[in-house]
Amino acid sequence: MKSPNPQPALSSIQREILVGGLLGDLSIYRAKVTHNARLYVQQGSVHKEYLNHLYSVFQNLCSSEPKWSLSLDKRSNTTYETLRFNSRSLPCFNYYRDVFYPEGVKIVPANIGELLTARGLAYWSMDDGYKDRGNFRLATQSFSRNDVLLLIKLLKDNFSLDCSLNTVKSTQYRIYVRANSMVQFRALVSPYFHPSMLYKLQ
């Protein structure tokens, strides 16, 4: 009797990119609690080079290539072209589904300080960041105030970055990497930035 094929594991680089991406645009879904989880990645057509790069990172965990689709922007009621891919449903994603979605909605895990590396910070920044008048802004509006404060503490403690909390609305918050930390920030993330996203640091 043949032994079952071993399930693929995430490499260290895949883990780092996954953690940073989950703070940004990456998502993990699980159809049922008894099922394995899968990765879902989507970007607008303007970032197709970046999405194809992400696909190359996780390609060994996928069964099909990226596909084009139309998505609806509910704010402007307009459709736009997107490129997306899914991984297979695999045990290697279950831990990240559990810690980032304990109640079904994405949060910042309490142990994020143990998970986020400089490489992960770069991928988070490529997904949800941009330079703003000498600062670097991270769009964290989907997270709670306590989650955003946890991220600010992490950025200070782990990466020596001076950051501030910016209130967008009464329950929406962004992170600013202040101008006095931009040299340190660029040194940390630029080695991992995809060429098509370097404009965000300029």
* pLDDT, mean of residues 65-89: 86
> Angle, nearest 10°, between helix axes 118-128 and 182-189?
100
The radius of gyration of the chain's CA atoms, rounded to the nearest angstrom, is 17
pLDDT of 102 = 96
* Mean pLDDT rounded to a whole number for the chain: 94
Q: How confident is the model at residue 5 (pLDDT cuts 50, 70, 90)?
A: low
Contact 158, 116 (CB under 8 A): yes
